[in-house]
Amino acid sequence: MKAAIMYGPNDIRVEETEKPACPKGGLLLKVKAIGLCGSDIRNLTTDSRKGDYPHIYGHEVVGEVAEVSPEITTYAVGDRLYVYPVEHCLKCEACRSGHSENCENAGDYANRQGGFADYLPVPPEQLNADAVYPIPDGVDYNSASLGEPLSSVYACQENVNVTLGDTVVIIGAGPIGCFHAQLAKIRGAKKIIMIEINDKRLETAKQFGVDHIVNSTKEDPIEAVKRLTGGKGAEKVISANPSTAAQSQAVFMAKKGGIIVFFGGVPKGALTEIDSNYIHYNSLWIYGHYGANSMQVQKSYELAISDAFPTEKFITHVLPLSEINKGIELTRTGEAIKVVLLPNEE
């Protein structure tokens, strides 16, 4: 099969490799579409595996069942499936308390073969948990691939209760920031303010329900938020970017009693300088978000494939897997919102 294999930072080669066997008790998926995620780009362009190469990344996977282990009766060759990359055991304390995003026995998808390949083995651990969902007739593979990136965004906004009448500030107009804007509008937010350093991304973000755009290199973003909220600040501020400076500024954009979300991971070892007195005296809540629980994974997928979510606006580029490096560059420059790659196609 063909696969996009990482041999080191910025060294991704699309080449022939051995087709994986169908795992015992599992199935082999023919990958029909896979999203290119910001975390994929970070992993592919840095020494993410500390010399442990070669490796195949990719986790926003949808496809068609190519082979099934003989003892499996719940799936058949030809079934169309969305495979969430992390299986939750649904038995540990975290899972039983409704926080399966913190599952103590969650699968480590970073250390098994990913979906930037013609075929992906799906082990029984995933089949027997909560990680595999059917794709209904009439839903295309590209749209279904947005289920995974939407899951964490959906979980975040459900957890902090973005709701009717809220003013929401989003810092970072990348793909995830645009997901946040669209979902906040669907949930009833009254005003959405997008902050970004790239004018092209800001203009693009307008189509996702953004009411005001702010280029933080051209005006003070804190003053801009105060101006746009009558001096009060926003109910919710979501920092969806890898900048510690943005996290520091986010605190001052929230109204008294507001919630600040640190959604984007920052470089390891980086420390964020925060005015804890300001947090204390303004009764602010700081929330770090990562992942989604089992029900949020399901509900976000159902939203992604519904008519309520405009998947066609998010997917700006569809490329063969052989052009993965082009997809990385399109995303990094801000020209693309969401790139979907098609293995098994030229």
pLDDT digits (tens, 9 = 90+) for 151-165: 999 999 999 999 999
Q: What percent of the chain has pLDDT over 70?
A: 100
Q: Which residues, in sequence order, are CB contacts of 344 under 8 Å at separation 6+?
A: 30, 31, 32, 118, 321
Segment 259-276 shows an average pLDDT of 92
130 has pLDDT over 90: no
Tell me what pLDDT residue 228 has: 99
346 has pLDDT over 80: no
CB count, 10 Å around CB of 207? 14
**Residue 161 three-state SS:** coil
Tell me what pLDDT residue 328 has: 96
Banded pLDDT at 131 (limits 50, 70, 90) = very high
Mean pLDDT (the chain, rounded): 96
- Enumerate long-range contacts of 205-214, CB under 8 Å, 24 or more apart: 205/173, 205/177, 205/178, 205/181, 207/313, 208/178, 208/181, 208/182, 208/313, 209/181, 209/182, 209/184, 209/185, 210/170, 210/181, 213/173
**Residue 338 three-state SS:** strand
Residues 87-105: pLDDT tens digits? Answer: 999 999 999 999 999 999 9
d(CA 141, CA 162): 29
Amino acid letter at 77?
Answer: V
According to DSSP, the residues that pair with 13 across neighbouring strands are 5
Place of tokens 């063969």: 320
Q: What percent of the chain has pLDDT over 90?
A: 92
Nearest CA among 128, 134, 101, 107 for reference residue 29: 134
Tell me what pLDDT residue 275 has: 96
Tell me what pLDDT residue 205 has: 96
Residues 286-307: pLDDT tens digits? Answer: 999 999 999 999 999 999 999 9
Domains identified in the chain and CATH numbers: 2-148+292-342 (3.90.180.10), 161-288 (3.40.50.720)
Q: Distances from the Cα of 321 to the Cαs of 142, 190, 292, 340, in angstroms?
A: 14, 40, 27, 9
Residues 165-220: pLDDT tens digits? Answer: 999 999 999 999 999 999 999 999 999 999 999 999 999 999 999 999 999 999 99
CB neighbour class for 186 (10 Å; exposed up to 12, middle 13-18, buried from 19):
middle
Tell me what pLDDT residue 161 has: 98
CB count, 10 Å around CB of 106? 21
- Alpha helices, H only, 64-212: 93-96, 124-127, 141-144, 147-159, 175-186, 199-205
Biggest CA–CA distance in the chain, Å, is: 65
Banded pLDDT at 264 (limits 50, 70, 90) = confident
Q: Which residues, in sequence order, are CB contacts of 276 under 8 Å at separation 6+?
A: none
Banded pLDDT at 37 (limits 50, 70, 90) = very high
Segment 108-128 shows an average pLDDT of 93
